[in-house]
Amino acid sequence: MKVVILAGGKGTRGKPYTDYFPKAMTPINAKPLIEYIVKYLDSHKFISEIIIVSDYNGLGGQVQNYLGELKTRSKLSFVQDSQSGTGGDLLHVSSKIKESEFILWFVDNLCAINLKEMWEQFKRKKSLACIATRSSRKEETGFAKVEDGIIQEFVEKPMMNLQMSECLGVYIISKSILRKIKEKSKKKDVNLSFDILQELSRDGKASSFDIGNCLWADVESPVFVERNQKMINSIIKQMKV
């Protein structure tokens, strides 16, 4: 199975840092974010190739220069960002995907997700897309239990059950979806979620893989890393990289 890592986003949430390096190169313990992701994916024997999509004519050149020195280099390939949305980027790399399904990983996601179990869920549900989700999360702020305007108890950063499952940035996708993207390719930007997956959900062809107690982080900036260092270190420990 192949993996497509989308690493070409502008990183607007990470400014001003992302004016100088892409979010894929966000430093975590003196290593860039993307190194942890690549090494984690490389640890799975069923993954044959890791395709990294970025703007190599711009800041993305830092990604290629850095990863070119890794021992996993033989599994890596680099494709220039198409500048046509998430769907457009997938269409752009379609010629490199021969298998019936592939993994899509957005580069700001850090998680030791069980990809084998997710793949099994994808096949069991006979879906065309399986999206990693979570139904609970640890909040970053404190909460209070209030009765009649009086605080009864303070709860610091509790684990909260969500009313709706939160979608994370890891997918397993059937290659047949690329045909659906091509049908909409006249649009300047084809958004995978709203233009493609929304339609699949109406037909019952989009499944969910709940990560359960597995930790997950949306690494948006160095500030986020600094504020959540303990959690990020725990994720890296779970990833065993």
3-state secondary structure of 187: coil
How many whole angstroms separate alpha carbon 76 and alpha carbon 48? 9
> What is the per-residue pLDDT across 35-69, written as a single tens digit (0 to 9) for each?
999 999 999 999 999 999 999 999 999 999 999 87
72 band by pLDDT with thresholds 50, 70 and 90? low
Q: Give pLDDT, residue 231.
A: 93
pLDDT at residue 12 is higher than 80: no
Taken in order of first residue, the domains within the chain and their CATH numbers are 2-135+163-239 (3.90.550.10)
Of 18 and 10, more confident: 18
CA-to-CA dists, residue 224 to 105, 131, 140, 176, angstroms: 20, 24, 11, 36
> What is the percent of the chain where pLDDT is above 90?
70
How many whole angstroms separate alpha carbon 122 and alpha carbon 114? 12
Q: Give pLDDT, residue 123.
A: 96
CA-to-CA dists, residue 2 to 94, 98, 115, 241, angstroms: 11, 9, 12, 20
pLDDT at residue 105 is higher than 80: yes
217 band by pLDDT with thresholds 50, 70 and 90? very high
Give the CA dihedral 90, 6, 188, 57, nearest 10 degrees: -110
